[in-house]
Structure 1
Amino acid sequence: MDEIPSSQTLACSAPELDFTILGLDLSSIPPISVLSAHFKDDEEDRVKATLRRHGAPFTGDVSKAKVFIGKVGTKRRAEFELRSRKLKVEAVVESKRPASPVKVGERPGKRMKVSESLNKPIVNDVQGSTTEEESLNGSETEDEGPALKRDTPETSPVEPEDSTAGPPLIFKDHSGEDVVWVVKVDWMNECLATGRLAPLGEQLIFKGKVLERPPPLISKHKSIKAIFSSPTRPSSQQITAKRPQTQQEILERAKSDASATKPKSSYQHERSDGHGSRRFEGRSFAPSAHKPNFASQTANLLQQTTSENDGEDTDIPPPPEWIIKRIKYSCQRFTPGNGPNEDFITQLKKIRTARTLIDDEIGVRAYSTIIASIAAYAYKLSHPRELARLPGCDEKTAVLFVEWKNTGKIQAVEDYENDEAMKVLRTFYDIWGVGAKTARHFYYQNHWTELDDIIQYGWNDLDRVQQIGLKYYDEFLEGIPRAEVEQIADVVRQHAIRLRDDRITVTIVGGYRRGKAASGDVDMIVSHPDLDATAGLVKDIVVALEDAEWITHTLTMSLNNTNRGQCTLPFRTTKASGAGFDTLDKALVVWQDPHWPTLEADLAENPKAKNPNIHRRVDIIIAPWRTVGCAVTGWSGGTTFQRDLRRYAKYVKGWKFDSSGVRTRATGEIVQLEGPEGVDGTPEDAERRVFEGLGLEFVPPEYRCTN
C-alpha cells in the first residue's frame, strides 16, 4: 500500500473500507458491537467487516458487548439505543456546574429576588419566543401552532454531546463496575487513518455503568432449534400487539388479554426505525436505575356484555357523518371545547407532554391527532371498538382506553407524574422562553434540578426573555380571566385609535376566542382598512403603552411585514423577508395594570412603592386589511386545527396558507380570498370569506378546540 488513506476517504460509505490497514490491531479493545441506527445500504455490514479484519472482538450479543459504535451524535441518543436493546445503564452523574463562570459579587439571589435591572424595556427586531398559537418545528413558515413553546433563538442549544476527552488508556475503567462505552464511527475512521488505536476524545458519546444486561442471545441450555420453534415469548417478559386488520380483531385481542395473567410492568422497547420512538411504547428519561414505563404493557378488559358475546354492536352508537365520509382533516369537522371525553383526553395530553419533553416529535404529532379525533367524537366512549373508527387511533389507543376505563388511571401517566426527571424537565419547560431542548440541556448537561440552580449557576447565560420568564415564573403560570383579557384588549384599542382613527379594529384571538375560561396569554389582531395605517403600527402602539406604563418589558418586536411592504409572505422565503414567527408585525410584551385601589395612599407613604398587580403575557399582532381574515383564522384555532388547515390548503388546493395570506404553490402568485382592499365588513366577515375560498364549511371558533 502506497499511503494510508485520510479519515475523510475512510468514511463508512467509502470503498476504502475494504482495505486492511497494516499494523492496526484492534484486538485489545473489549467486545464491540455496532448500533445500526442511521446506517444506509451496506454501511453497517462494511463497518462490521472492517472491525473483524483488524482483529476487533466483534459480537452481536448485547449481553457481552462493552463497546458500541455507530452513527450516534448525542448522549441522549446513545442512552436510547442501549435501552432499546434492553441494556439498563446509568450515566456517571457529575456535580452541578455553571453554564459559564459567575463573577464574585455578581451572583443573583434566590428566585423572586432577581435583580431589578430587568425593569427596563427593550425592543428587539429579531425572531423571538413563540406563543400558544405558534408553529411546531417543520411547519411551513407559520406562526400559528401549538401550545408547545419555546426555545429562544439566542440560546437554544444544539443537542449537546458529551465532549469529555477519553482516557489515555482506551476503554479502561478502574471502578471495578460493569461499564459500557458508546463511540462514534468516526473513531474507527481515525484508527484507520493513523494506523493505531486513536484516543477517544470527542468521539466518546456516552460512558455508563451497567445496571442490568439482557440474557445471552443463545442460552447454553437451549438449542437453536428450540429457540426458533418456541411459539411465543413468556407473558412475563413482554406482550406486544400486532396491528389488527378489522375492528372486530381489536375486540378479540382485548378479550384474549383479559384471560391472560397481567405481567409485571417493565420497560420494553424495540429498535427504533429512525423516525423517533415508537408512538405508544415506553421510554425512560432519568439517568438512574429506575426506568419508568411510559406505556402500559397490558390492560384489564371492560366487562363483557351479552351483546358482545352475541357479536352485536347495539351498545355502540352509529358513527358520526365525518367518520362515514372519512374526513381526514380536523379543519373539516366541529370540535367543541368540552366534549364528553375530556377526562380521557386529559390523560392523553399528559402522555403527549412527556413525548414533548423527550423530543419525540413523531409521538407528539401522533398523540395530537388522536386527541383531536377523540375531542371531535360526539359520544361518550364506552367501548374500544369505537376508537378503531377514529382517524389516528389504533389498537394501542384502545388498550390505553381500556386500562383507564377499568382502573381509573393509566400507568404511563402515573410513571410520567412520579418520575423525578420529568418533574424537573416540566418545571424548566414552564419557564417562558425555555423550550424542551433547553430544559433537557439544563437538566442532563448542567445537572440543574431546580429554578434556583439556574439563577445561581447560569443566570449570565440566559437571554433577556428567559431571565424575565424566570423572574415572573409564578405569575405567567396563572390563567388570565376573560374579563381581564377584554380589559387589556380595550386598552390597546384606545391607544391604537388615538394613534390612527376610530376605524381601528382589535380582534381577540387564541384561547379566548375558542371559549376558554382563562387564557395563558392574550393574543389580539389589530388592523385598519388603510394599508398605510398598519405600516409600523406595532411600534407606535408599544411606545404609547410603555409611556402609559401598561408595558413593563418588550420581549420581542418584529417589523418584517412592514419591511416587505405588508405583502403576503413569498412562497420561497428568505430570512430577510421573515418566516415562521415573523410572518406578521408583532410585539410580545409583559403587561401590568399601572393602577390599583390604594395607589395614591401607597405612593404618599412610599414614593417607590411597588405595583402589586400581576404581570401578564400579551401578544399584539398587526395584520393589513386585505388579509386580516387569514390572520384571524390563523390565530384562532387549536394546534391540530391549524396544522390540518395548512395541510388541507397544501394537498387539496395546492396552496400555501399562513396568517399573511395565501399563495399558489404552482406559480407563487397571491390567491386573494378576502376581496379587494378596503372592502366593507369586519375581520370576522373576512374570516368567513377565507373559509369559503378554501372550500370549507365555516367552523365557529368555539368548535376549533382540537387541544
Structure 2
Amino acid sequence: MPFKRPAPLPSQSESQSSSSANLLSGSSKRPRLSPPPGKALPNVKLFIVQAKLNTSAISELFGLAEQHAKRLCNKPEDADVIVTAIGMRRRLERHIPWELAKHKAVVTPQWLRDSVKNGSSLPYDNYIAIQDLQDTIVQNCPECNCKPCACSPSSTSSYASSSLRHSQESLASATSATSPPTAIPAYLLPPSPPLETDITKLDYTSRYACQRASPLVCPNQALVHELDIIRQSRALEGEVRSALSYARAVSALKAYPHKITSMKQVEKLPYIGTKITGLVEEFIDGGHINEAETIRSSVRFQALSLFSSIYGIGPTTAQRLYDLGLRSLDELEVYYGVDSKTQTSIDSGIVEVEKESKRRHAKDEGDEGLGDTWIKIALGLREDLAIKIPRDEVEEMGRVVMRELDQLEHGCVSTIVGGYRRGKPESSDVDMVFTHPDASKIKGLCKRVVQRLHEGGMVSHVMHLSGFHAHNPLRTTHWDSLEKSLTVFILPPSSTFYRGTRRRLDLIFSPPELYWTAVVGWSGSIMFQRDLRQWAKDKHGMKFDSSGITRRYDSKVFFPKTEKEVFDLFELEWIDPTLRNADA
C-alpha cells in the first residue's frame, strides 16, 4: 500500500476497547468521552479506500483523518465511515464486501473535506458514494451511529450486534490477500509474528548457501558486481561449468559480513580458487577488474546480453542470432518480422506458445525453448516487459488476482514469492504460489483462473499452461510437477496502479500438503535453492524441489506443515527469505 500508518497508541486502543465493550453489552449508559481540542470528527472512525485516488489525494485524506478523526482504521469492518471515490457497486465490492458496506456510511472524499471545514460531522445524504446504498446510509446519521448516544439503546445494541455479525461474515468470505477466512488451517498461514533468524548460528565459511546469511546488498557489492559480469559472459557463451564457478564465488562473497580490504580475509571463504583470488586482489588494489571492464565494452557481450533480455531467448539462440550478423533489437525485429508499434494489438488474446515437453527439453540445453512464436510476441512487448515492477504494484497484482480467484473458489491462500519475497525493491516479474485447504479444489483451478483473468482483460498471453502430474523422484530436471501458468498480465483500469503496462506474472498452484515446499522452492535465490538441493542429497539422502521432498533409497515423500519445517527436516537453521539472496 502507498501509505502505511502506525498502530494506535495504547491509550487509544484501551479507550476504544472499553467503548466497544459497553456498546456490545447493550448498556444505555455509555461514556461520552471528551474529544481532544481541535478535532472535527472526535468520535468517528474512518477507513479510506485508496482505489481511484491519486497520490496527492491519498496523502491529503490520510492527513485529515489522522488529525481530525477518532481513528484511521486499517480494516473497513472497524470503521464507522468508509470514504471512497468509487461510484459503482461492482467496483466497490472488489475492496469492501457488500454486506459490510450496507451497514456502514459509505461517502465520498468531499464529505471528509467539508466536515473538517465545518468543524463537525455533516449529514451523509449529500455525499453518498454508491446510490444503491442511499437508504441505508441516510439511516446512519452522525448523531446516532458515529458517536455514542443514548437516544435508542435497544436499537443501538441491535445494530452493534448486527454490525459485528456482518463483519465476521465478511471476514470469513474475504480472500487471504486481505484477511484469511477462519476455515483456513493455521499451518497454511505465515507465522505471526515472523520468525527471527539467529545470525550467530549461521556460518559464512560453509560451502552451502543454505547455511549462510546472504543479504540483498552486502558490504562487498561492488566486487560482487564485477565478478558477476564475468559470470554472465561465461553463461552467455555456454560455458556452464565456468559460470557456475563464478556463481559459487559470488555467493560466498555475498555472505561475508565485512568489507574486504586484504587477501587474508578471503582465505577461509569457500570457492575462492587461484583465478578468482587474483581477481579479488586486483579489485582490492584498483577498485575494478580489467577482465570485467573488457567484457563490458565488448560488442559481442553487449549483443548477447541484449538478445537474452528478450523473454524466450537463451544463450544458444542468442549466439545463433549473433552469428547471423544481428547486433541490435531493431535488427532482431526485422529478422523476426515484428512491428513493435502494432504487435501488441495484433497478438492480443490468449496464446499458448509451447507444450511442457518442449520447454523441459530446451531448459536442459540451457535455453528458454519457447520458440519463434513467443519470441515474436516478446519482442512486441519488450518495452513493457523491460520496466521493473515496484513493490506496491506487485502487491496490487496479488490483491487483484486473489479477488478474481476468490470468485471462482473461496478460501484459497497465496504467497508472493521470488525476488519480492527476498526484499527486492523492484521485480522483473511476479511469482505467486496458491493452494486451498481442500486438495480436490486445487486441481484444474489454474486454467480456470487464467481464463477468468483473460475474460476480464487482465491476461493477454500464456506462454505455458500445465496441469498436475505425479511427483517423480527419479526426475533429473528441476521443472517441477505443479500446476502452473506463465502469463502476460495487465492491471484493470479500476486499479490505482493502472498504467496500461504489461507485466510477467507466473501462477503456481500446489496441493495443500506441498504448499510450503513450493513456497521455499519458488522463493529463491538460484544459488540458495541449488545448495539446498545439494545439502538434501549430500547430508540426508533426499531429493528436494518445489513439488516435493523424497527420500532417495525408498522414495518416501515428506510433507512439511510449515516453511520452517522444511529447514527442520534438513537440520538447517531458519533463514528469513530476505537473507537468501545468494546471487549477485
Q: Pick from 242, 247, 254 the counterpart of residue 363 of structure 1.
A: 242
Q: Distance in 2 between matches of 1:389 and 1:415?
A: 29
SS in 2 for 1:334: coil
Q: Pick from 503, 524, 541 the counterpart of residue 449 of structure 2.
A: 541
TM-score (norm 1): 0.48
Q: Pick from 310, 325, 330 the counterpart of residue 447 of structure 1.
A: 325
Alpha-carbon shift at residue 573 of structure 1 (Å): 4.0
Q: Distance in 1 between matches of 2:532 and 2:496?
A: 48
Corresponding residue for residue 412 of structure 1: 291
Query: Is 1:635 paired with 2:522?
Result: yes
Q: Distance in 1 between matches of 2:499 and 2:424?
A: 26
SS in 2 for 1:485: helix
Corresponding residue for residue 206 of structure 1: none
CA contact under 8 A between 2:422 and 2:579: conserved in structure 1? Answer: yes
Alpha-carbon shift at residue 506 of structure 1 (Å): 1.2
Corresponding residue for residue 382 of structure 2: 473
- The superposition leaves residues 173-210 of structure 1 with CA deviations (integer Å, 9 ceiling, x where unpaired) of xxxxxxxxxxxxxxxxxxxxxxxxxxxxxxxxxxxxxx
CA contact under 8 A between 1:342 and 1:375: conserved in structure 2? Answer: yes
CA contact under 8 A between 2:312 and 2:374: conserved in structure 1? Answer: yes
Q: Distance in 2 between matches of 1:394 and 1:632?
A: 34
Specify whether residues 703 and 323 from structure 1 end up closer, same or farther in structure 2 by C-alpha distance, changes over 3 A only: closer
Corresponding residue for residue 397 of structure 2: 488
Q: Pick from 688, 704, 707 the counterpart of residue 564 of structure 2.
A: 688
Specify whether residues 356 and 573 from structure 1 end up closer, same or farther in structure 2 by C-alpha distance, changes over 3 A only: closer
Specify whether residues 459 and 651 from structure 1 end up closer, same or farther in structure 2 by C-alpha distance, changes over 3 A only: farther
Residue 491 of structure 1 aligns with an amino acid whose one-letter code is: V
Corresponding residue for residue 583 of structure 1: 481
Corresponding residue for residue 473 of structure 2: 571
SS in 1 for 2:268: coil
Residue 424 of structure 1 aligns with an amino acid whose one-letter code is: A
Q: Pick from 554, 561, 571 the counterpart of residue 667 of structure 1.
A: 554
Greater than 3 Å deviation, 4+ residue runs: 320-324, 458-462, 596-599
Q: Pick from 440, 449, 456 the counterpart of residue 334 of structure 2.
A: 456
Superposition pairs of residues 484-633 of structure 1, within 5 angstroms? 484-501=393-410, 503-559=411-467, 561=468, 564=469, 567=470, 569-573=471-475, 580-595=478-493, 613-633=500-520
CA contact under 8 A between 1:570 and 1:668: conserved in structure 2? Answer: no
SS in 2 for 1:706: coil
Superposition pairs of residues 82-93 of structure 1, within 5 angstroms? none
Q: Distance in 2 between matches of 1:580 and 1:414?
A: 34
Residue 243 of structure 2 aligns with an amino acid whose one-letter code is: V
Alpha-carbon shift at residue 637 of structure 1 (Å): 2.2
Gaps of 5+ in 2: 1-199, 339-369
Residue 581 of structure 1 aligns with an amino acid whose one-letter code is: W
Q: Distance in 2 between matches of 1:670 and 1:353?
A: 36
Residue 446 of structure 2 aligns with an amino acid whose one-letter code is: V
Q: Out of 459-468 and 653-662, give the one that drifted further.
A: 459-468
SS in 1 for 2:505: strand
Identity, % of aligned pairs? 32
Corresponding residue for residue 308 of structure 2: 429
Corresponding residue for residue 220 of structure 2: 341
Alpha-carbon shift at residue 597 of structure 1 (Å): 9.1
CA contact under 8 A between 2:528 and 2:582: conserved in structure 1? Answer: yes
Q: Distance in 2 between matches of 1:488 and 1:354?
A: 34
SS in 1 for 2:392: helix
CA contact under 8 A between 1:586 and 1:621: conserved in structure 2? Answer: yes
Alpha-carbon shift at residue 425 of structure 1 (Å): 0.9
Alpha-carbon shift at residue 330 of structure 1 (Å): 0.9
Greater RCO between the two (CA within 8 Å, min separation 6)? 1
Q: How many residues align?
A: 354
Residue 388 of structure 2 aligns with an amino acid whose one-letter code is: G
CA contact under 8 A between 2:312 and 2:371: conserved in structure 1? Answer: no
CA contact under 8 A between 2:429 and 2:504: conserved in structure 1? Answer: yes
Gaps of 5+ in 1: 1-319, 600-610, 675-685
- Which structure's residues are more often helix, by fraction? 2
Specify whether residues 395 and 321 from structure 1 end up closer, same or farther in structure 2 by C-alpha distance, changes over 3 A only: farther
SS in 2 for 1:364: helix
CA contact under 8 A between 1:385 and 1:398: conserved in structure 2? Answer: no
Q: Out of 399-408 and 344-353, give the one that drifted further.
A: 399-408
Alpha-carbon shift at residue 546 of structure 1 (Å): 0.6
Specify whether residues 433 and 475 from structure 1 end up closer, same or farther in structure 2 by C-alpha distance, changes over 3 A only: same
Corresponding residue for residue 403 of structure 1: 282
Q: Distance in 2 between matches of 1:545 and 1:483?
A: 20
Q: Distance in 1 between matches of 2:201 and 2:567?
A: 20
Alpha-carbon shift at residue 322 of structure 1 (Å): 5.5
Alpha-carbon shift at residue 531 of structure 1 (Å): 0.6
Corresponding residue for residue 386 of structure 1: 265
SS in 2 for 1:345: helix
Corresponding residue for residue 262 of structure 1: none
CA contact under 8 A between 2:202 and 2:573: conserved in structure 1? Answer: no
Residue 327 of structure 1 aligns with an amino acid whose one-letter code is: S
> What's the Cα RMSD here?
2.3
Q: Distance in 1 between matches of 2:203 and 2:404?
A: 48
Residue 421 of structure 2 aligns with an amino acid whose one-letter code is: R
Corresponding residue for residue 281 of structure 1: none
Corresponding residue for residue 87 of structure 1: none
Alpha-carbon shift at residue 383 of structure 1 (Å): 0.5
Alpha-carbon shift at residue 571 of structure 1 (Å): 1.2
SS in 1 for 2:555: coil
Alpha-carbon shift at residue 453 of structure 1 (Å): 2.4
Residue 579 of structure 2 aligns with an amino acid whose one-letter code is: Y
Corresponding residue for residue 222 of structure 1: none
Q: Distance in 1 between matches of 2:480 and 2:276?
A: 37
Specify whether residues 598 and 477 from structure 1 end up closer, same or farther in structure 2 by C-alpha distance, changes over 3 A only: closer
